[in-house]
Structure 1
Amino acid sequence: MKDLEERYLERLSQLYPTIAMASTEIINLQAILNLPKGTEHFLTDIHGEYEAFSHVLKNGSGAVRRKVDDVFGNTMGSRTKQALATLIYYPKEKMDRIKREEDNMEDWYKITLYRLIEISKRAASKYTRSKVRKSLPEDFAYVIEELITEKADIMDKGSYYNSIVSTIIRIGKAEKFIIALSELIQRLTVDHLHIVGDIYDRGPGPHIIMDKLMKYHSVDIQWGNHDVLWMGAAAGQRGCIANVIRICARYGNLDILEEGYGINLLPLATFALNTYKDDPCKCFQLKGDSGHGKNEMLMDIKMHKAISVIQFKVEGQIIQKNPGFKMEDRNLLHHVDYEKGTIEIDGKTYEMLDKNFPTIDPKNPYGLTKEEEDIMERLEQAFLNCEKLQRHMRFLLNKGALYKVYNNNLLYHGCVPLNEDGSLKTVSVYGKSYQGKSLYEILESYVRKGFHALDEEERERGRDMMWYIWLSEGSPLFGKDKMATFERYFLAEKETHKEKKNPYYSLLEEEEVVNGILREFGLPSEGTHIVNGHVPVKSKNGENPVKCGGKVMVIDGGFSKAYQKETGIAGYTLISNSYGLILVAHEPFESTEAAIEKESDIHSDSVIVNRVLERKLVGDTDVGRDLREQIADLEVLLRAYRSGRIAEKV
């Protein structure tokens, strides 16, 4: 251990080669510990709704408006403050409108610049000057730093600032400067973003959301079952590929694959048109308004049926290959009487809504035809070789995990599988038993193996495990006894559609159960919270997203338009700042144009879930703990310098 410590101190001395440099860093880190805790922003179940996501990201779920209120209080009217907040969210678009209405733009520029400078000062006050400097836009970094930094040595500060602002306007840079200040305020208002699962599926823009997240200054992601499904598809898992295409077809979003990722769907389209040319495919109508013309919609419907049949075959093969998954009851194709058009499930016979299955051999129902096999081979290669998709999935792997413990909050998508009595449910994964935290960790390790394992057998296990995580009863990301996709397509009887939820969801008000989950993940039962997504909160039915006296927050309120009829709202988000936790309910998002025109923040209600008596500092956070460890290491290095154990590298 002594040799190890010596080597560590030698490495540390390369970063801080002198007593002065080590001492300066200790002072800097100690100063950071006493700054207010940065604002964290929690979003979940975005489901491809890019415009609504972008708007919530820009306004920080009301955090930017609260910053405006903090700075101007009662000195500015509510309408003026809202107009200023909208300008910060959409500076270019808002200025284009203002220029059509405002007679004296020079005065407007001057007033607006002063207001934005004041908000920037307040937003920057939480951070060290070094961190603010790194956040400044390159083109205006020096000037912005001059404007938002107090100048104690200048006698006539008003004249100093006036000269800078006047010059900015005179040389025609006011608009670009306003955009730069607005983006800086957005950047500084939210310090860190948490995405608690399900970026993908249903909405039209998950690929655009991923591009945005990859540029975001600080983010972590807890994978949702839809995210893991796309990860499995990118790894070449056929069950995942078929599900991804089926869902895109169902919601009229095949453009995501074709235009967003460049996946060639022409072979599937040709096959579908030839195979189901006279089939109305009534069970495979699209959900929502895709905006497609009649012919394109008919083609999508036929592709929807073609890939669905392929999916049921491919999934049957996966289940047969993995008896340890214990999903034999989900293999239904061999229970179909193809002559009568009926199926037997749990001893009961049902008439099927669709009886046309030209590609299924009743003697070998899970075997792909030659054409279907060729399509799947092409699709597999297309997903594996799509550079943009692989880049997005690498980002999910690098920034993501199945759960995260951060600043006394436990973040995960779905549920911790429980038994009826609230005890942790045991799940078998490739012959070994796991529960609670260990279950999350083994599943996550297999996801990573599906991309990185050198052993081909382990890599294939990892790929199959991603499909298992998507839809298995034992998956914490799914949390139901089955995914009744087949029944919902082919059977009218609602009893067959029912998907029974894990007991977790009915036990969230039981404090003993919730405390047990927190302990399982190494957290105390007091002063900690679970932040949870996956199942939409039906607000219109009076359901409360805050459970167990504030210990659990289920923040999926229906970001996806497909859910908003059930929920009555357009999602919940959560803000954690130095004063506590604020839960924000959102009204349905109309459009970016409407948000600018109506100057709407879309949050309809904010509820303070937890307010601290004493403002939290960086020193009270996980980052603070790491900083204290760094300070301790640097103090050891200082002692080593002063004792002569290590020589300064002057």
Structure 2
Amino acid sequence: MKRLEQRYLERMSDLYPTIAAAATEIINLEAILNLPKGTEHFLTDIHGEYEAFAHVLKNGSGSVRRKIDDVFGNTLTAKDKQELATLVYYPKERMEMVKKTEENMDDWYKINLFRLIELSKRSASKYTRSKVRKALPKDFAYVIEELITEKQVGMDKESYYNKIIATIIRIRRAEEFICAISELIQRLVVDHLHILGDVYDRGPGPHIIMDMLQKYHSVDIQWGNHDVLWMGAAAGQWGCMANVIRICARYGNMDILEDGYGINLLPLATYAMRVYEGDPCECFKLKGTQRPDRAETEMNQKIHKAISIIQFKVEGQIIARNPQFKLEGRNLLHRINWEEGTINLDGTSYRMLDLNFPTVDPEHPYQLTEEEEEIMERLEKAFLGCEKLQSHMRFLLAKGGLYKVYNKNLLYHGCVPLTEDGELKPVTLYGKTYKGQQLYEAVESYVRKGFFALNPSEKLKGKDVMWYIWLHPDSPLFGKDKMATFERYFLAEKETHVEKKNPYYKLLEKEEVVDRILDGFGLLREGTHIINGHVPVKLKNGESPIKCNGKVLVIDGGFSRAYQKETGIAGYTLIYNSYGLLLVAHEPFESKEAAIQKGTDIHSETMIVKRVVERRLVGDTDIGLELRGQVHDLEVLLAAYRNGTLKEKI
């Protein structure tokens, strides 16, 4: 151990070769520990709503507006504050509008430049100069640093600033400068972003959201069930691929696959139009979309039916090769009585709404036709060969996981599988039994194997586990007794559509159950919160996102337009700043154009979940813990220099 310590100190001495260097770094780190903690921003269940997501990202769930209120108080009118906020969100577009009516743009530039500089000063105040310097836009880094850094006593600051501003305006760089400093404010107002799952499905732009996240300065992602479904599709798992295409067809979002990712759907479309010619596909009407083109709608419905039938066949094959999943009860094609037009479920006979299944062989219902097999093989190559999709999935793998513990908060998307009496449920997967944290880590390990394992058998298991995560009753990302896709398409009886939730959802108000979950992840019971999404909180029905006296926060409030009629709002987001936890309830986002033209923001109501007595500092965070470890190691290095164990490298 002493040899290892000696080698470690020698490596450290390469970075800090003298007493002065080590001492300076200790002073620097101690100073950082006493700065206010950075603001964390939590979002979940975005479901492809890229415009609303982009706006919430820009306004930091009201953080920009709160910062404007802090800086300007009563010195600006409510209208001026809103116009300044809109300028921060959409600087280029807002200036284009202002130029149409403003007679003296130089004065407008001057006023707003000074306001933005004051706002950026306050936004930068909780960070070190080094961190702010790294965030500065390259083209204006020096000038912005001069403007937001306090000058020495005795310098005529007002004259100095005025000269810089006047020069920026005179040389016609005001608009570029305003764009740069607005982006800096957005960057500084939120220090770290948490995405608690479900970037994908339902909305039109998950690929656009992924592009934004790849450019974001600091982010982690807890995978949602829809994200893992796309990961499985990107890994070439046929059940996941079929589900992805079916959901895109159902919501009229084939453009995501064709234009967003360049997946060629022509073979599938040609096949569907021929096989289901003359079939109105009434059970496969599109959801949440108004397509004016009748021919396109008809084609989408036929694709919807074709891929659904392929999905039921493929899933039957996955179930057959994984008997340990114990999902035989979800294979339903062989239960159809073709002569009577009924299906038997749990001893009850139900009449089928559609029996036109020309590609299903009653003797071998789960066998794909040669053409279906060829279509799936071509689709697999397309998913595996799409560089943009693979890039997005690599990002999810690098930045994400099934859960995360961050600053005493336990983050995950779905639910911890529980028994009826609130105990952690043991789950068996490929011969081993897990529960709680062990289950999350085992399942995540299989997901990574599905992409990276060299052993073909282990890689296949990993791929199939991604499908398992999507719909298995024991999946921590599903949390229901079944996925009633077949019943919802083909049976009118509502009782067959019911998907019974895991006991987790009815036990969240019981503190002993929540404490048991925290124990299962090795976390302290006091001062720790569980933050998750997955199941929309129906505010209009009186549901609250705050559970168990604030220990649990369920922040899915319907970001997706498809859910907003049920929830009554357009999503919850959470802010954790140095003063405490703030839960923000959003009303629907009208459009980017309305935000620019009318200066309208997403109207939000903020609830204080927890306010701290003393302002939280960096030293109170996980980063603070790491920095204290670095301080300790530097002090050991300093002692080694001073007692002669190590020589300075001068």
Bin for the TM-score computed over the shorter chain: over 0.9
Aligned partner of 2:442 in structure 1 is 442
Report the CA distance between 1:290 and its aligned residue.
Answer: 4.7
Alpha carbons 2:62, 2:604 under 8 Å: kept: no
Alpha carbons 1:584, 1:603 under 8 Å: kept: no
Aligned partner of 2:179 in structure 1 is 179
Q: Does 1:13 align with 2:13?
A: yes
Alpha carbons 1:62, 1:603 under 8 Å: kept: no
Indicate the SS of the match to 2:74: helix
Aligned partner of 1:624 in structure 2 is 624
- Equivalent AA in structure 1 for residue 435 of structure 2: Q
Aligned partner of 2:550 in structure 1 is 550
Describe how 1:29-428 pairs up with structure 2 within 5 A: 29-291=29-291, 293-428=293-428
Report the CA distance between 1:154 and its aligned residue.
Answer: 4.5
Alpha-carbon RMSD across the aligned residues, in angstroms, is 0.9
d(CA) in 1 for partners of 2:348, 2:460: 36
Aligned partner of 1:467 in structure 2 is 467
Alpha carbons 1:62, 1:601 under 8 Å: kept: no
Report the CA distance between 1:518 and its aligned residue.
Answer: 1.5
CA deviation string 1:507-559 (max 9, x = no partner): 11111111111122122121111111000000111111111111111000000
Aligned partner of 1:480 in structure 2 is 480
Aligned partner of 2:451 in structure 1 is 451
Report the CA distance between 1:20 and its aligned residue.
Answer: 2.0
- Equivalent AA in structure 2 for residue 24 of structure 1: T
CA deviation string 1:468-492 (max 9, x = no partner): 0011000010000000000000000
Alpha carbons 1:91, 1:178 under 8 Å: kept: yes
Report the CA distance between 1:371 and its aligned residue.
Answer: 0.1
Report the CA distance between 1:165 and its aligned residue.
Answer: 0.3
CA deviation string 1:129-178 (max 9, x = no partner): 00000000000000000000000244211101000000000000111111
d(CA) in 2 for partners of 1:449, 1:238: 16
Indicate the SS of the match to 1:38: coil
Aligned partner of 1:589 in structure 2 is 589
Report the CA distance between 1:604 and its aligned residue.
Answer: 2.6
Indicate the SS of the match to 1:517: helix
Report the CA distance between 1:643 and its aligned residue.
Answer: 2.4
- Equivalent AA in structure 2 for residue 141 of structure 1: A
d(CA) in 1 for partners of 2:382, 2:643: 62
Report the CA distance between 1:78 and its aligned residue.
Answer: 1.2
Aligned partner of 1:574 in structure 2 is 574
d(CA) in 2 for partners of 1:454, 1:520: 32
Alpha carbons 2:319, 2:328 under 8 Å: kept: yes
Report the CA distance between 1:284 and its aligned residue.
Answer: 0.5
- Equivalent AA in structure 2 for residue 474 of structure 1: D
Report the CA distance between 1:645 and its aligned residue.
Answer: 2.3
Structure 1 residues not aligned, in runs of 5+: none
CA deviation string 1:416-450 (max 9, x = no partner): 11111111111111111111111101000001111
How high is the sequence identity, in percent, across the aligned residues? 75
d(CA) in 1 for partners of 2:290, 2:436: 40
d(CA) in 2 for partners of 1:643, 1:241: 64
d(CA) in 2 for partners of 1:220, 1:600: 29
CA deviation string 1:556-601 (max 9, x = no partner): 0000000011001100000000000000000011110112223222
Q: How many residue pairs align between the two structures?
A: 650
d(CA) in 1 for partners of 2:156, 2:181: 24
CA deviation string 1:170-190 (max 9, x = no partner): 000111111111100000000
Indicate the SS of the match to 1:101: coil
Alpha carbons 1:251, 1:290 under 8 Å: kept: no
d(CA) in 2 for partners of 1:528, 1:113: 42
Indicate the SS of the match to 2:100: helix
TM-score by length of 1: 0.99
d(CA) in 2 for partners of 1:204, 1:75: 41
Aligned partner of 1:502 in structure 2 is 502
Indicate the SS of the match to 1:607: strand
- Equivalent AA in structure 1 for residue 624 of structure 2: G
Alpha carbons 2:45, 2:196 under 8 Å: kept: yes
- Equivalent AA in structure 1 for residue 557 of structure 2: G
d(CA) in 1 for partners of 2:146, 2:472: 57
Indicate the SS of the match to 1:75: coil
d(CA) in 1 for partners of 2:311, 2:185: 47
- Equivalent AA in structure 1 for residue 339 of structure 2: E
d(CA) in 2 for partners of 1:153, 1:602: 42
d(CA) in 1 for partners of 2:154, 2:403: 51
Indicate the SS of the match to 1:100: coil
Indicate the SS of the match to 1:350: strand
- Equivalent AA in structure 1 for residue 354 of structure 2: D
Alpha carbons 2:447, 2:463 under 8 Å: kept: yes
- Equivalent AA in structure 1 for residue 9 of structure 2: L
CA deviation string 1:180-235 (max 9, x = no partner): 11100000000000000000000010001000000000000000000000001111
d(CA) in 1 for partners of 2:608, 2:175: 36
TM-score by length of 2: 0.99
Alpha carbons 1:61, 1:603 under 8 Å: kept: no
Alpha carbons 2:261, 2:388 under 8 Å: kept: yes
d(CA) in 2 for partners of 1:587, 1:558: 10
Alpha carbons 1:272, 1:303 under 8 Å: kept: yes
CA deviation string 1:18-62 (max 9, x = no partner): 222222211111110000000000000000000000000000000
- Equivalent AA in structure 2 for residue 249 of structure 1: A
